[in-house]
Structure 1
Amino acid sequence: MWLVLFYFFIPISSISAESRLFGPGLRASFQVPVRYFYLQTYDANGQKLNHSTQPLDRIEFHLTRVSDQLSVHSYRKIDDLNDGTYLFRYRLYESVKDLHLYIRFGNEDIEHVIQGYIYSDGCYCPETNLTQWFDAFECSASRSQLRTDMELFKTIDMKQVLEKATLKYFQHPQTYALCHYVIKNNKIYRKCYGEHTGFKMFSDAIFLSLSRKVVMPDVEFLMNLGDYPLSDTNDDPLPLISWCGSEQTYDIILPTYEITEATLQMLSRTTLDIFAMSTTRHLPWSKKIPKGFFRGRDSCPERLDLVRLSRKHPDLLDANLTRMFFYRDQISEFEPFAPHVPMPEFFNYKYQISLDGTVASYRLPYLLAGDSLIFKQSSSYYEHFYRDLMPHKHYIPIKKDLSDLIEQLQWAKAHDAEARTIIKHAQRFTQRNLLPNHILCYHVQVLQEYAKRLISPVQIHSDMELVQHETDESHIKKDNCHCHRLEMSTNTGYGTRAPGIVYSCLIKNNSDAEVTIQVEFSGLADHHREVVDIELAKGEEQIVDEKEFEHGEQQTKYRKGIELIRVKQFDGKTIELKKPFDGVASPKQNWVFEIENDAIKSVDPQK
């Protein structure tokens, strides 16, 4: 079970009783591309205020180094959530030790120091302890879609997968586009197949970004670059990773490239992100237009039907197409097209109609974050989070053919209070499942579960190319930072490699007699040393679990590494095997050590 952390108010001595800061962006370990936290206002009696108290032009937000008080190169943004809460976001372009936050909020001076090393998105300094990384990112415990996706695939042999994919997909380059990825020693390699593989830029970007933040498991998989899921049920399905799933396929689903790109590019090349809908000042509910709203292109036939329905019921619907691509033979019926409407203006209407596009509607996360009631079409397509949505709690379900849409809109108009409650639940859902840390977490969770099922060795193929930081990410500014992770090597910048550490192991006694074994662990200091004593009869084996130590003022937990295997044999002879161990070039768990009569062998369990 994943450990879910909750936000706690940060005590700040210089803050009056009128405002408090809270949120994950006040911790050094929360290494998302754009960090964020909140300011909550209170009245003199300590009660939360539910209205704005300061205009944005009376709020200042600065970041400086504690050591010299020089400004830190960053992009900062403040948003009024219009409920007594303010959102503060910042993207760092340089890494810093001990970051000083200064906020001028009206007449208040608010200060907070984030202690520790705060790394920019361009700094290669991955956390080697995956459990600690999950904790720091407050990863959601809900993975119901992932569990369902992986049920069919108990084991995965990539040699067989590639053989089948060659016949089914690779020989049809005009129809399919896939990339064969290998992540090994926290480096990304790929070989792509198909004529239209441009969307590899999205998968490249997220894997590179993750590799700078956490040491990912060694894993090998096929990534579908198209919108349509491919792993059909007609024959032996393949464990393909895709951005969209369907009831007719068995693809393993990642968050869509759209919400992932918005996560990585927040406060950079994109203006649409999960916070945008809640930070835009919308009309008060009483002033919103009481109609269902839709704008989009002709990506599915029901969109055309919705426009026809809108013309019959203009008092309940305002739906129109902005352009046509798929059904151009019917273009005369739908001209003139409506002009493009920015998504924040969608919420001038009380009700949003969410219909499929070519597959699932990738705009749904942003609609959930807004303050309108969503009417979601029944569909066989889904994104990674749909399974956790509940009809009538987070949205109003409508039939695929829209035959009950008018009835449902009429219900909403007659049940205003219930509609607003559903909206609040939807907004809360996005806060708990669709923020940047949740998107990054889900990617790593998919890779972790996939890696557990691999029975074939993860090998870099000779025709693969290395996906490189900066070269394959034009938006990232390289930060020649010095990585201070306790378990990292002393190299800096993008050349830093994940350490060759063994955290836990399986010891097999292949010798001719009983042996006594000492497994020596070490940490940062001498007092972290720990020795595990075991005895194994001939032919026996035993797992030695990982060990932890605490370090620093906050008693942060780190994993110890195995330094030495010492074996005392039945005849009194002692043999040893010391670090570095053969074959270990990155962090390993359950590494195999085989005891022979005259030696101890370091063995890759996947070979």
Structure 2
Amino acid sequence: MVDSVKDRSNFRLVIVKGKVYVTEHVKAIQTRDVFTLWGILQLVRRYPGMLPDLELMFDCSDKPVIKSSDYPGPNATVPPPLFRYCGDQWTMDIVFPDWSFWGWAELNIKPWERILKELKEGNERTKWMEREPFAYWKGNPFVSLARQDLIKCNVSDQQDWNARLFVQDWNQEIKQGFKQSNLASQCTYRYKIYIEGSAWSVSEKYILACDSVALLVRPHYYDFFTRSLQPVHHYWPIRDDDKCRSIKFAVDWGNNHKQKARAIGKTASEFIQEELKMDYVYDYMFHLLNEYAKLLKFKPEIPEGAVEYCSETMACRAEGLVKKFMMESMVKSPSITSPCSMPPYEPQVLEGFVRRQTNGIKQVETWEKKYWDGVSEN
């Protein structure tokens, strides 16, 4: 069953008796596979001897591919397990933390622990009330139609939708030494827009950590932590079919309810600082791999031709920013505490949580409609 997704994966990873073995299939985009494997090795260093024997396939590309519709009903065959960074309601891929938690060398994005500290310091430099009272976004609009549609909301001589949108030219940024892409220096607007690219975007956690009100254009994908977020508590929902008017309403509402808006931004950044610290990222990985291993119907064995991976040899071979970020994110010693416990939620608790999410989005849409109806009457 695991072998059935070999052609869709970048690598096979096997853990036997606490050692990690890898068979590479197809090189991933940039160093996604390198830092994903590095992260798993750090988990092994953090909890030595505590991970069970297991075997998995990992796809480092963006979009989930194991369609639920191919496995309908209770009598369907078991879907093949494939790990990746995001999922959606139509697929069954297994969601795992993305590579950037350990660094994104190509874009000079530092490991998560360091970025968290810098973002916290950046938040202190520019208080919410002192920030630009507009919605900010900077990125590559050419990776999706949704982002190209967003760019139409930029300020012009004819219209101001309260949005300040900037195209990120990464080729130019690389040439200039990443002078304009420091994440901790981009927390200068009261509102920051999150919008998906070809699928989910790595940028979401950095936006949520900024103390700004995160304006989330209705996402179609989720990563491993975003389903914990509640609208009007951690973020403000933006319609995906009427982005400009939705953004203008959100900013107008926030500027007219400054204390409430500031509280939303603060709640999100506290969630990121406390609930998404690396301790819990590793614990999520630990529990996910343990629960996954329980489902295997075979005894994992070292595949022929597999290469044993360890932190020392990976870091030794690395160069430049890749090596620098590896050294920064290396787990120096085993954890002195056990992984956090993850008791299962009762179905009614999960149902109530999802219901609150749905009701929160509907409430905002009701406020928004009333606002624009009033504008039309005037």
Deviations 1:76-130 (A, max 9, x none): xxxxxxxxxxxxxxxxxxxxxxxxxxxxxxxxxxxxxxxxxxxxxxxxxxxxxxx
1:377, CA displacement in angstroms? 1.0
* Inter-partner Cα distance in structure 2 for 1:269 and 1:342: 13
User: Does 1:245 pair with 2:90?
Assistant: no
Deviations 1:260-314 (A, max 9, x none): 437xxx9987896222211224322332110101111122222222222113444
Of 235, 240, 258, which aligns to 2:70? 235
Query: For the structure 1 residues 353 and 226, does the alpha-carbon distance in structure 2 shift closer, same or farther, using more than 3 Å as the test?
Result: same
1:345, CA displacement in angstroms? 2.9
| Conserved 8 A contact 2:216-2:238 | yes
Query: Paired residue for 1:304?
Result: 148
* Inter-partner Cα distance in structure 1 for 2:170 and 2:311: 38
Three-state SS of the structure 1 residue aligned to 2:15 is strand
Query: For the structure 1 residues 291 and 269, does the alpha-carbon distance in structure 2 shift closer, same or farther, using more than 3 Å as the test?
Result: closer
1:195, CA displacement in angstroms? 4.8
| Conserved 8 A contact 1:274-1:434 | no
| Conserved 8 A contact 2:101-2:112 | no
User: Does 1:188 pair with 2:20?
Assistant: yes
* Inter-partner Cα distance in structure 2 for 1:428 and 1:344: 15
Of 328, 349, 358, which aligns to 2:189? 349
Q: How does 1:388-427 map to 2 (within 5 A)?
A: 388-401=228-241, 402=243, 403-427=245-269
What is the TM-score when the length of structure 2 is the normalising length? 0.72
Of 38, 57, 60, which aligns to 1:225? 60
* Structural RMSD (CA): 3.1
Three-state SS of the structure 2 residue aligned to 1:229 is coil
User: Does 1:317 pair with 2:147?
Assistant: no
Query: Paired residue for 2:365?
Result: none
| Conserved 8 A contact 2:13-2:22 | yes
1:409, CA displacement in angstroms? 1.8
Query: Paired residue for 1:469?
Result: 311
Deviations 1:330-375 (A, max 9, x none): xxxxxxxxx9443223221111011112211212212222221110
User: Does 1:256 pair with 2:98?
Assistant: yes
User: Does 1:282 pair with 2:114?
Assistant: no
Q: How does 1:428-467 map to 2 (within 5 A)?
A: 428-467=270-309
| Conserved 8 A contact 1:275-1:369 | no
Query: For the structure 1 residues 471 and 484, does the alpha-carbon distance in structure 2 shift closer, same or farther, using more than 3 Å as the test?
Result: closer
* Inter-partner Cα distance in structure 2 for 1:315 and 1:357: 21
Query: For the structure 1 residues 278 and 446, does the alpha-carbon distance in structure 2 shift closer, same or farther, using more than 3 Å as the test?
Result: same
| Conserved 8 A contact 1:282-1:347 | no
Three-state SS of the structure 2 residue aligned to 1:183 is strand
1:379, CA displacement in angstroms? 1.5
Specify the code of the residue in structure 2 equivalent to 1:347.
Answer: C
Query: Paired residue for 1:294?
Result: 137
Query: For the structure 1 residues 210 and 267, does the alpha-carbon distance in structure 2 shift closer, same or farther, using more than 3 Å as the test?
Result: same
Specify the code of the residue in structure 2 equivalent to 1:161.
Answer: V
* Inter-partner Cα distance in structure 2 for 1:302 and 1:484: 44
Query: For the structure 1 residues 206 and 419, does the alpha-carbon distance in structure 2 shift closer, same or farther, using more than 3 Å as the test?
Result: same
Deviations 1:429-463 (A, max 9, x none): 11332111011111111111101111111111112
1:201, CA displacement in angstroms? 0.7
Bigger fraction of residues in strand = 1
* Inter-partner Cα distance in structure 1 for 2:133 and 2:335: 54
Of 21, 26, 39, which aligns to 1:206? 39
* Inter-partner Cα distance in structure 1 for 2:128 and 2:307: 53
* Inter-partner Cα distance in structure 2 for 1:442 and 1:261: 18
| Conserved 8 A contact 1:378-1:397 | yes
Query: Paired residue for 1:361?
Result: 201
| Conserved 8 A contact 1:295-1:340 | no
Query: For the structure 1 residues 433 and 344, does the alpha-carbon distance in structure 2 shift closer, same or farther, using more than 3 Å as the test?
Result: same
Query: For the structure 1 residues 302 and 282, does the alpha-carbon distance in structure 2 shift closer, same or farther, using more than 3 Å as the test?
Result: farther
User: Does 1:161 pair with 2:2?
Assistant: yes
| Conserved 8 A contact 2:112-2:278 | no
* Inter-partner Cα distance in structure 1 for 2:199 and 2:109: 28
* Inter-partner Cα distance in structure 2 for 1:247 and 1:207: 26
1:196, CA displacement in angstroms? 4.0
| Conserved 8 A contact 1:274-1:365 | no
Query: For the structure 1 residues 317 and 454, does the alpha-carbon distance in structure 2 shift closer, same or farther, using more than 3 Å as the test?
Result: same
1:422, CA displacement in angstroms? 0.9
Query: Could you list the runs of 5+ residues in structure 2 that have no partner in the other structure?
Result: 72-78, 172-178, 328-332, 339-378
1:469, CA displacement in angstroms? 2.8
Three-state SS of the structure 2 residue aligned to 1:207 is helix
Query: Could you list the runs of 5+ residues in structure 1 that have no partner in the other structure?
Result: 1-159, 171-175, 326-338, 478-482, 487-555, 558-607
Three-state SS of the structure 2 residue aligned to 1:182 is strand
Three-state SS of the structure 2 residue aligned to 1:303 is helix
| Conserved 8 A contact 1:282-1:348 | no
Larger RCO (alpha carbons 8 Å, 6+ apart): 2
* Inter-partner Cα distance in structure 2 for 1:398 and 1:352: 11
* Inter-partner Cα distance in structure 2 for 1:470 and 1:318: 45
* Inter-partner Cα distance in structure 2 for 1:297 and 1:238: 33
* Inter-partner Cα distance in structure 1 for 2:43 and 2:113: 22
Specify the code of the residue in structure 1 equivalent to 2:65.
Answer: L
1:200, CA displacement in angstroms? 2.1
| Conserved 8 A contact 1:259-1:273 | no
Three-state SS of the structure 1 residue aligned to 2:314 is coil
What is the TM-score when the length of structure 1 is the normalising length? 0.46
Specify the code of the residue in structure 2 equivalent to 1:430.
Answer: I
1:485, CA displacement in angstroms? 11
Query: For the structure 1 residues 246 and 188, does the alpha-carbon distance in structure 2 shift closer, same or farther, using more than 3 Å as the test?
Result: same
1:161, CA displacement in angstroms? 2.7
Deviations 1:142-191 (A, max 9, x none): xxxxxxxxxxxxxxxxxx231x225xxx2xxxxx4421111011100111
Size of the aligned set, in residue pairs, is: 301
| Conserved 8 A contact 2:138-2:166 | yes
* Inter-partner Cα distance in structure 2 for 1:244 and 1:467: 25
Bigger fraction of residues in helix = 2
